[in-house]
A and B are shown apart, each in its own frame.
Chain A
Amino acid sequence: MGGYSLNEEYVLRMENIRKEYFGNLVLKGINLKIKPGEIHALLGENGAGKSTLMNILFGMPVIHSTGGFQGEVLLNEEVINIKSPKDAMELGIGMVHQEFMLIPGFTVSENIKINREITNSTIISKVFGKNLKKLDFKTMNKDARKALDTIGIGIDELTYVSSLPVGYMQFVEIAREIDKSSMKVLVFDEPTAVLTESEAETLMNTMKVLANKGIGIIFITHRLDEVMLVADNITILRDGEYVNTLKKSETNVIELAELMVGRKLEIIQKTDDDIEEHREKILEIQNFNVDMPGERIKGINLDVLKGEILGLGGLAGQGKIGIANGVMGLYPSDGEVIFQGNALKLNNPKEALESGLAFVSEDRRGVGLLLDSSIELNIAVTAMEVKNKFLKYFGFIKFEDSKEIRAYAEKMIKALDIRCTGPTQTTKSLSGGNQQKVCIARALALSPSILFVSEPTRGIDIGAKKLVLDTLVNLNRETGMTIVITSSELAELRSICHRIAIITEGKVAGILKPQDKDANFGLLMSGLEIPREQGVD
Chain B
Amino acid sequence: MNKGNFMGTAKEYIFNNMVTILFVILCLVGLSLSGQPISLVLNELVIRIARNSFLVLALIIPVIAGMGLNFGIVIGAMAAQIIIIAVTHWGIVGVPGFLLCVVLTTPLAVIFGYFTGKLLNKTKGQEMITSMILGFFANGLYQLLFLFLIGTLIPMNNPVLMISGGVGIKNTVDLTGGIKYALDNIFNRSLYYVVYNMALIALVICIALIIYSVIKKKKNLKGLIIKAIISLVVFVGCQINSVAILLNYVGVPIVTMLVIAALCVFNILIFKTKLGQDFRTVGQNPVVANASGINVDKTRIKAIVISTVLAAWGQLIFLQNIGTLNTYGSHEQVGMFAIAAILIGGATVSKATNKQAILGVILFHTLFIVSPTAGKNLFNNAQIGEYFRVFVAYGVICVSLVLYAWKDYVKAKEKITL
Contacts and interface: CB of A to CB of B under 8 A. Distances in A.
Interface stretch (B94-102, B210-218, B271-279): B271-279
B32 interface: no
Interface of B: 270, 272-278, 280-281, 284-285, 287-289, 291-294, 415-418
A286 interface: no
A373 interface: no
A131 B416 contact: no
A135 B277 contact: yes
Contacts of B418: 291, 293
A105 interface: yes
Contact of A291 (B276, B294, B416): B416
B4 to A, nearest CB: 23
A103 B294 CA distance: 14
A125 B289 CA distance: 22
Sorted from nearest, which 7 A-B pairs have the closest CB atoms? A115-B292, A131-B275, A114-B292, A103-B284, A132-B273, A101-B288, A115-B293
Contact of B272 (A102, A114, A135, A332): A135
A101 B291 contact: yes
A130 B284 CA distance: 23
Interface residues of A, number: 23
A132 B417 contact: no
B188 to A, nearest CB: 31
Interface of A: 86, 101-106, 110, 114-115, 117, 119, 125, 130-135, 291, 293, 331-332
A135 B269 CA distance: 10
A293 B274 contact: no
Contacts of A132: 270, 273-275
A134 B272 CA distance: 6
A293 B273 CA distance: 37
A115 B274 CA distance: 8
B277 to A, nearest CB: 6
A293 B416 CA distance: 6
Main DSSP-derived SS at the B contact region? helix
A87 to B, nearest CB: 12
15 contacts: A103-B284, A114-B281, A114-B288, A115-B278, A115-B281, A115-B292, A115-B294, A130-B274, A131-B273, A132-B270, A133-B273, A135-B272, A135-B274, A135-B277, A293-B418
A106 B284 contact: yes
Nearest to A114: B292
A519 to B, nearest CB: 36
Given A103-B281, A291-B417, A332-B417, A117 B289 contact: no
A421 B270 CA distance: 60
A65 B226 CA distance: 64
Nearest to A125: B273
A53 to B, nearest CB: 20
Nearest to A115: B292
A134 B281 CA distance: 16
A104 B280 CA distance: 12
Nearest to B273: A132
A131 B281 contact: no
A6 to B, nearest CB: 39
Contacts of A293: 415-416, 418
A310 to B, nearest CB: 27
A93 to B, nearest CB: 15
Chain A CB within 10 Å, residue with most, of B270, B288, B291, B294: B288
A115 B275 contact: no
Contacts of A125: 273
A117 to B, nearest CB: 6
A291 B272 CA distance: 41
B417 A131 contact: no
A134 B273 contact: yes
Nearest to A106: B284
Given A86-B293, A293-B416, A117 B288 contact: no
Contacts of B281: 103, 106, 114-115
B288 A135 contact: no
A534 to B, nearest CB: 38
Contacts of B291: 101
B223 to A, nearest CB: 20
A283 B334 CA distance: 64
A106 B278 CA distance: 12
Contacts of A134: 272-273
A135 B274 CA distance: 6
Contacts of A331: 416
Contact of A103 (B275, B278, B288): B288
A102 B293 CA distance: 14
A115 B294 CA distance: 6
A103 B284 CA distance: 7
A361 B272 CA distance: 49
Contacts of B274: 117, 119, 130-133, 135
Contacts of A110: 277
Contacts of A130: 274
A236 B167 CA distance: 81
Nearest to A104: B284
Contacts of A332: 416-417
A278 B292 CA distance: 59
A114 B273 contact: no
A138 B281 CA distance: 19
A133 B278 CA distance: 12
A396 B281 CA distance: 57
Contact of A102 (B270, B278, B288, B415): B288
A268 B294 CA distance: 52
B289 A114 contact: yes
A105 B64 CA distance: 12
Nearest to B283: A105
Contacts of B285: 103
Nearest to B276: A135
A114 B274 CA distance: 10
A102 B416 CA distance: 19
A103 B291 CA distance: 12
B416 A101 contact: no
B405 to A, nearest CB: 20
Contacts of A86: 293
A133 B269 CA distance: 11
Contacts of A115: 278, 281, 289, 292-294
Contacts of A101: 287-288, 291-292
Contacts of B275: 131-132
A101 B291 CA distance: 8
Contacts of A106: 280-281, 284
A314 to B, nearest CB: 22
A134 B276 CA distance: 10
B201 to A, nearest CB: 26
Contacts of B272: 134-135
A104 B411 CA distance: 15
B286 to A, nearest CB: 11
A278 B289 CA distance: 59
A96 to B, nearest CB: 13
Given A115-B294, A135-B274, A331-B416, 10 more contacts: A110-B277, A114-B292, A114-B294, A125-B273, A130-B274, A131-B278, A132-B274, A132-B275, A135-B272, A293-B418
A135 B292 contact: no
B1 to A, nearest CB: 23
Contacts of B277: 110, 117, 135
A105 B271 CA distance: 14
